[in-house]
Chain A
């Protein structure tokens, strides 16, 4: 079992829709959780970073961590075509980062 599991999609939504991206993790000791966005032919860039459980909001993006169910979510409001990318969830455990395989998102104008 991988430490972080993510539905690969692909996910296709119309512009303006609310997008929900989800991951699960296996190690209850994980405390730091991240979401990265990766455009084609680019490296991942950090979108959101949260510590322990709870919500964190940044503009149209909200990251949510539920440690009781080991569930990580990213919500994108008012999605735009420029949000079309692959989204990677990650968790930090000890001195390693564990990544999901990524969810490919396409926002259709």
Chain B
């Protein structure tokens, strides 16, 4: 079974721009969660989508948004980029969503904002 894939792997954007990241979960998984990973804060939960609906949300500003398609692929969008948005963005897929224990992470998208 193929693992979680994320595209692109690396991205450089300028402050004020917007960016869209993509995540394809493991086949059969309906839950996709997004995390931001930085050296100082570690992994921070952004949001979870399950069957095309946002089911849970972390404490990030509205500039961070997402969606999920009928094939469970998910996209995350960040508008009006700030320097502090530079991070590794990880998505994780699971069968049960956040109520379960097993999340499978993708390799991440490394976003650099200049």
**A residues lining the B interface (CB < 8 Å):** 2, 6, 32, 34, 36, 41-46, 49, 88, 90, 92, 95-102
Contact = CB atoms under 8 A, between A and B. Distances in A.
B39 interface: yes
B70 interface: no
A106 to B, nearest CB: 17
Interface residues of B, number: 27
Interface in B60-114: 90, 92, 97-99, 101-108
B42 A102 contact: yes
A100 B42 contact: yes
B43 interface: yes
A32 B103 CA distance: 13
B58 interface: yes
Contacts of A99: 35, 42-44
A25 B108 CA distance: 26
B107 A97 contact: no
